[in-house]
């Protein structure tokens, strides 16, 4: 039980630290980002709601009031989910903009992460089962080689070959100019067409970590006494590999997977930038280039909270799956 309490305490503490970090980053910078935004909002000759100005101030720092007062106001705003108004997408709120892009990212990266995990774990298991064979060296050396290739470069090459030269798939974007977003078959098939290349790019590099992790864990667990005893007892090799090796070796990968799912939002910046995909990563970059600080801050906070929640769930899952961890922490 102590294990779970400690993990929860860590989760709460990191959550607080992340929220505070988000509060401090804009305030540590020279100049006043909030002032710049407020003046830019005013410069548009659009009716500005004083409440919006106040929201920007709370998120990014107001010249009036002590740091502590600002901090309390900020915590309240975060708790209410009030992240202010986006500067570049005025008058939409930041939460509205994030909601617009969230699904794109979650579907694209979520699906590829699941496939990467399954493929990677299977390949890693196979390599470990046939360790030191030709299959093993092809899998390990191949994935090491692919791992050295810069991800965004690979993505550019995919665009060059399959979109521009062969014209098999659309070059960029999440859907064609002709179709309107919605749950119609036409739109969904168009969106799938657009997602093939980004998904391929993610799937080339995605399984590498799982392959290497699974192989090394499994080679190690097959060398442990219980696996050798099973071999001595004359159990079939395949059964030893699956029930004695893989079952143990998959543990760190399972928790790693939970973290990877949480990292979806963080890892998607590059792929969405290359393919101009309408997800949260591209929104973050747009926010950066437009100096849309409220939007940027909120995306960073969302991303971090996603990772923290996933991390906590992974810890809990690990404690449930592997009693040794619980015991180690209790003593």
| Residues engaged in binding other proteins (CB under 8 A) | 10, 13-14, 17-18, 21, 25-26, 29-31, 33, 144-145, 147-150, 152-154, 156-157, 159-160, 164, 263, 265-267, 269-270, 273-274, 284-285, 288-289, 291, 293, 296-297, 299-300, 303-304, 307-308, 311
How far apart are alpha carbons 318 and 175 in whole angstroms? Answer: 39
Min CB(13)–other proteins separation in Å: 6
Alpha carbons 131 and 149: distance in angstroms, whole number: 25
Distance (Å, whole) CA 175 – CA 295: 23
3-state class (DSSP) for residue 101: helix
Q: Which is nearer to other proteins, 11 or 187 (CB)?
A: 11
Q: How far apart are CA 53 and CA 57, in angstroms?
A: 6
Q: Which lies closer to other proteins via its Cβ, residue 62 or residue 265? A: 265
Closer of 122 and 254 to other proteins (Cβ): 254
- The least distance separating other proteins from the CB of residue 195, rounded to whole angstroms, comes to 19
Residues with Cβ < 8 Å from 193, sequence gap 6 or more?
169, 170
Please report how close the Cβ of residue 88 comes to other proteins at its closest, in angstroms: 13
Q: Is 211 exposed, middle or buried (0-12, 13-18, 19+ CB in 10 A)?
A: buried
**With contact defined as beta carbons under 8 Å apart, do 71 and 22 qualify?**
no
What are the Cα distances from residue 289, in Å, to 37, 87, 107, 268?
A: 14, 12, 25, 17
Q: To the nearest whole angstrom, how small is the minimum distance from the Cβ of residue 25 to other proteins? A: 6
Preceding omega of 271 cis (within 30 degrees of 0): no
Report CA-CA distances (Å) from 86 to 22, 245, 306.
17, 52, 21
Q: CB of residue 266 vs other proteins: minimum separation in angstroms?
A: 3
Q: What is the nearest approach in angstroms of other proteins to the Cβ of residue 179?
A: 24
If the CB atoms of residues 230 and 307 are measured against other proteins, the closer one turns out to be 307
Shorter beta-carbon distance to other proteins: residue 118 or 153? 153
What spatial distance separates the first Cα and last Cα of the chain, rounded to whole Å? 12
Q: How far is the CB of 252 from other proteins (least distance, A)?
A: 15
What is the DSSP track for 175-194? Answer: S-TTPPSSS-HHHHHHHHHH
Q: Are 82 and 320 in contact (CB under 8 A)?
A: no
> In the complex with other proteins, which residue's Cβ is closer, 240 or 258?
258
The nearest distance, CB 137 to other proteins, in angstroms, is 13
Residue 153 or 186: the one with the smaller Cβ distance to other proteins is 153
Q: How far is the CB of 58 from other proteins (least distance, A)?
A: 17
Cβ proximity to other proteins, 13 vs 321, nearer residue: 13
The nearer residue to other proteins, 199 or 280, going by C-beta atoms, is 280
Q: Is the dihedral of CA 193, 194, 198, 201 positive or negative?
A: positive
C-alpha 228/C-alpha 71 separation (Å) is: 59
Residue by residue, DSSP assigns 195-240 as HHHHHHHHHHHHHHHHHHHHHHHHHHHHTSHHHHHHHHTT--HHHI
């Amino acid at each position: 039980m102590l294990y779970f309490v400690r993990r929860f305490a860590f989760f709460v503490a990191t959550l607080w630290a992340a929220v505070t970090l988000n509060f401090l980053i804009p305030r540590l910078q020279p100049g006043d980002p909030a002032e710049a935004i407020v003046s830019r909002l005013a410069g548009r000759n659009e009716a500005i709601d004083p409440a919006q100005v106040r929201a920007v101030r709370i998120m990014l720092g107001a010249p009036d009031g002590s740091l502590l007062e600002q901090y309390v106001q900020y915590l309240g705003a975060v708790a209410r989910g009030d992240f202010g108004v986006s500067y570049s997408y005025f008058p939409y709120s930041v939460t509205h903009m994030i909601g617009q892009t969230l699904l794109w990212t979650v579907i694209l990266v979520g699906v590829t992460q699941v496939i990467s995990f399954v493929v990677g774990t299977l390949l890693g298991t196979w390599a470990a089962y046939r360790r030191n064979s030709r299959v093993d060296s092809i899998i390990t050396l191949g994935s090491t080689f692919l791992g050295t290739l810069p991800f965004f470069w690979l993505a550019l090459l995919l665009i060059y070959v399959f979109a521009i030269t062969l014209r098999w798939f659309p070059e960029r974007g999440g859907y064609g100019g002709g179709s309107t977003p919605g749950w119609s078959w036409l739109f969904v098939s168009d969106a799938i067409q657009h997602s093939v290349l980004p998904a391929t790019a993610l799937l080339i590099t995605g399984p590498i970590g799982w392959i290497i992790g699974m192989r090394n864990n499994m080679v190690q667990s097959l060398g442990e006494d219980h696996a050798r005893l099973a071999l001595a007892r004359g159990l079939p090799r395949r059964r030893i590999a699956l029930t004695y090796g893989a079952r143990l070796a998959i543990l760190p990968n399972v928790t790693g997977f939970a973290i990877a799912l949480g990292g979806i939002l963080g890892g998607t910046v590059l792929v969405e930038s290359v393919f101009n995909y309408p997800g949260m990563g591209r929104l973050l970059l747009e926010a950066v280039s437009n100096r849309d600080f409220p939007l940027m801050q909120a995306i960073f906070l969302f991303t971090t909270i996603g990772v923290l929640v996933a991390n906590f769930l992974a810890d809990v899952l690990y404690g449930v799956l592997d009693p040794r961890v619980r015991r180690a922490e209790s003593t």
